[in-house]
Amino acid sequence: MKIKVQCPAKINLTLKVTGKRDDGFHNIESIMQTISLYDYLIISVEKSDKFEINLSGNNNEVPYNEKNLVFKAAKLFIDNTNIQPYKIEIYIDKNIPVAAGLAGGSTDAAGTLFGLNKIFDEPLSKEKLHEFCAQLGSDLNFCLEGGRQMTKGRGEILEKLPFEKFSLSLIKPKNLGISAKEAYSKFSQKNSQNFQSKYGSKDSFKNDLEWAVIDDYKELQKIKNLYSSSIMSGSGSTYYVINGLFEKLDGYWLKNNLYAVNEGIKKVPL
């Protein structure tokens, strides 16, 4: 049995950090939007004497082992369904950059839960899928549903918003990835010091995490200096511009002429 799953990237149209939680994470209010940049998962399963999860793919920055959120999602699925032992092979066709603020890891993990649930005739309800998405990370619930949503809590509380189609372009320093942990740590530290960015007050930024990291990275400043209307997505280091294009820059990955999509993870033909 085999399935192909399309997993969209997301951008944060807004991202406000509203407080620290008891579990160490931060509460946010963020309008997220899925876009026409996709990873694809090819999931194949065959009966076996024991469970096996084997990952492979086309990107050497991705760990194809138990550290990968895709592996964790497959394990969570196995542990919570009564399926017989299977050998599960997952090929990750990666087009979304890694550590980019575009939910590449999260969308693949949500796609894994979705795909395995389809292959095994949906032993998990939609509510259960969302419960497991929330266990694995902050953006998975949104990626599963897609479209335009106001997300709250850690990102797992969704409120669907009217969809508006628009075009956008992305740019990212090739050798700079910023982890969510780093971005939120810098936010906490600078927020407690009433830090003033040279690009304006925190309230002048659509994304609180951009305010927290931009003064520390010349690569991000270069983007902002050239494209003042550009906005960082998530914890970075990708910037987007709506209804505009980026020029080629040495040392930067870019993708022009993308658009907003009103869907989340879905099965596509093999």
Q: DSSP letter string over 51-90? A: -EEEEEES-TTS--STTSHHHHHHHHHHHTS-PPPEEEEE
**159 pLDDT exceeds 80?**
yes
Q: Name residues whose C-beta falls within 8 Å of residue 48's C-beta, 6 or more positions apart in sequence.
A: 85, 86, 87
Average pLDDT over residues 126-137: 95
**20 pLDDT exceeds 80?**
no
The burial of 232, by beta-carbon neighbours within 10 Å (0-12 exposed, 13-18 middle, 19 or more buried), is given as buried
Looking up tokens 């389809």, which residue turns up? 118
Maximum distance among all alpha carbons in the chain?
A: 61
**270 pLDDT exceeds 90?**
yes
CB atoms within 10 A of CB 185: 12
Q: Which domains does the chain have, with CATH numbers?
A: 2-161 (3.30.230.10), 167-259 (3.30.70.890)
Q: Which residues are catalytic?
A: 10, 139
pLDDT band at 240 (very low <50, low <70, confident <90, very high): very high
Looking up tokens 């793919």, which residue turns up? 57
Encoded amino acid at 77, one letter: F
For residues 214 and 199, the answer to whether their CB atoms sit within 8 Å is yes
**H or E element at residue 143:** helix 140-145
Average pLDDT over residues 124-133: 96
pTM value is 0.95
Angle of helix 126-136 relative to helix 104-119, nearest 10 degrees, comes to 150
Encoded amino acid at 250, one letter: D
Looking up tokens 């964790």, which residue turns up? 72
**H or E element at residue 253:** strand 252-259
pLDDT band at 155 (very low <50, low <70, confident <90, very high): confident
Cα–Cα distance for residue pair 180/5, rounded to 1 Å:
26
Q: Is the peptide bond before 233 cis (omega within 30 degrees of 0)?
A: no
The region of weakest confidence among 21-35, 90-104, 180-194, 234-248 is 21-35
Q: Which residues pair with 32 in a beta bridge?
A: 12, 149
CB atoms within 10 A of CB 135: 13
Tell me the pLDDT tens digit for each residue of 104-123: 999 999 999 999 999 999 99
